[in-house]
Amino acid sequence: MTNFPADRATALARLADFAPHAGRDYAAGRNYDDQTHVSVLSPYLRHRIITEQEVLTAVLRHHTPSAAEKFIAEVCWRTYWKGWLERRPTLWAGYQAELRKTLDDVQTQSGLRSEWEAACLGQTGIACFDHWAQELVTTGYLHNHARMWFASIWIHTLQLPWTLGADFFMRHLLDGDAASNTLSWRWVGGIHTMGKSYLARADNIAKYTNGRFTPTGLAHHPYPLDTTPHPPVGPVPQSDWINPAKSSVHLITDDDIAATQPDMPTATYYNAAGRSPLATAPIIGEFVDPALTGHGPALADVGAITAWAVDQGAQQLVMNYTPVGPTADGLSGLRAALDAQGITLAVHIRDHDRTGWPASKAGFFKFKAVIPDILRLVADCREPQLGLV
């Protein structure tokens, strides 16, 4: 089982170890759940302790794009999901509303409550599922294939509400991410790609756990979930102009910890309570808090951020974009609050996202067309490894 010290040096060392294996080794072994063939970098990427561009740069030092095609595609799945949710933000709000309603049901329906508790505690009697529930709670990480099997058993075999499963992940995953998590659960449940669900099969689990688990009694048919058409695709967010003549302060959030501006007073913001209406696992704070430490005062909300910017005599607050999710929720009134004090909010979107998100319109197959442009950013080194611009 992997540990996750929350520092950039660990992430870079892990990347350096992994990069030579990102080609054929990864493609051949990534579906085995033993964690020896995957990068285990997701907590660092999720909080941008290291960036996608740094990861792709390291990998392309060892492999051609075609040799590392599978790994590059997986990194781009993150970009695709993030762009997909960015352009349909009501799906995140809809998930949160449905989750709150389902948590009310949990309070009033004792049968649902005990089944949900047994699933979260790893006490269902399905050995592999119980193992993964406990592994997630203990480590804050699960291999991708285990996440797929787990979500499938949760939805199709145990027939528990998918929002409760997505919430269980959000409360425990160090890499818990509004886009990758919500949309992956929807995909497993058959409500992302209409009519296409993911069904975990006993022989597939036996093969890719190297025979550790051969479950019986798994669902043979998907459990039908209510589907509604996707909301229409919205616009791609744009960067603001950063006025170099203005006296500026810099806000770092847990969505982009690598964004440094050494010449500006800096503070941090992290919406620790925003992942779930329930308490999140302490392990998440133990990962994120140290990663933000040393970047200035930790500010609790929009009011505290505005007061701090005023206190610093700022004319402009500069920050990297916070994508749809808990941190953006917590900062939703920031622009207006700063405006009222005569301070401009200047938000920067990294080249990586600016290049990928316009292609997050339909399926991943179409998104793939933009991957050469994303790789060209690496080749051109247009984006510095740190910083806003």
Ligand X SMILES: Cc1cc2nc3c(=O)[nH]c(=O)nc-3n(C[C@H](O)[C@H](O)[C@H](O)COP(=O)(O)OP(=O)(O)OC[C@H]3O[C@@H](n4cnc5c(N)ncnc54)[C@H](O)[C@@H]3O)c2cc1C
Of 184 and 268, the one with the shorter C-beta distance to ligand X is 184
Find the part of the chain contacting ligand X (CB under 6 A) among 182-190, 281-289, 306-314, 363-371. Answer: 182-190
Cα 360 from chain centre: 16
- State which of residues 11, 15, 19, 45 lies at the interface with ligand X (CB under 6 A): 45
Contact 269, 251 (CB under 8 A): yes
Q: How far is CA 47 from CA 91, 114, 128, 253, 358, in A?
A: 21, 34, 29, 8, 22
Are 302 and 339 contacting, i.e. CB atoms less than 8 angstroms apart?
no
To the nearest whole angstrom, how small is the minimum distance from the Cβ of residue 154 to ligand X? 9
Determine the interface stretch with ligand X among 74-82, 118-126, 131-139, 331-339 (rule: CB under 6 A). 74-82
Residues 141-180, interacting with ligand X (CB under 6 A): 143-144, 147-148, 151, 169, 173, 175-177, 180
Nearest distance from residue 377's CB to ligand X, in Å? 17
Q: Which of 95/169 has CB closer to ligand X?
A: 169
> For ligand X, which residue of 163, 181, 306, 355 counts as binding (CB under 6 A)?
181
Task: Enter the DSSP assignment of 370.
Answer: G
User: What is the nearest approach in angstroms of ligand X to the Cβ of residue 98?
Assistant: 16
CB of 313 to ligand X, least distance (A): 38
Count Cα atoms within 13 angstroms, Cβ side, for 102. Answer: 20
As given in the structure block, the two tokens for residue 330 are: 């917590």
271 sits near ligand X (criterion: CB under 6 A): no
**Quick check: helix, strand or coil at residue 345?**
strand
Is residue 280 part of the contact set for ligand X (CB under 6 A)? no
Q: What is the dihedral of CA 174, 179, 180, 183, to 10 degrees?
A: 130
Distance separating alpha carbons of residues 86 and 90, to the nearest angstrom: 9
Locate 371 and state its tokens: 């991957």
Q: Is position 249 an interface residue for ligand X (rule: CB under 6 A)?
A: no
CA 151 from centroid of its chain's CA atoms? 16
Interface with ligand X by CB under 6 A: which residues? 30, 38-42, 45-46, 74-75, 77-78, 81, 143-144, 147-148, 151, 169, 173, 175-177, 180-181, 184-185, 188
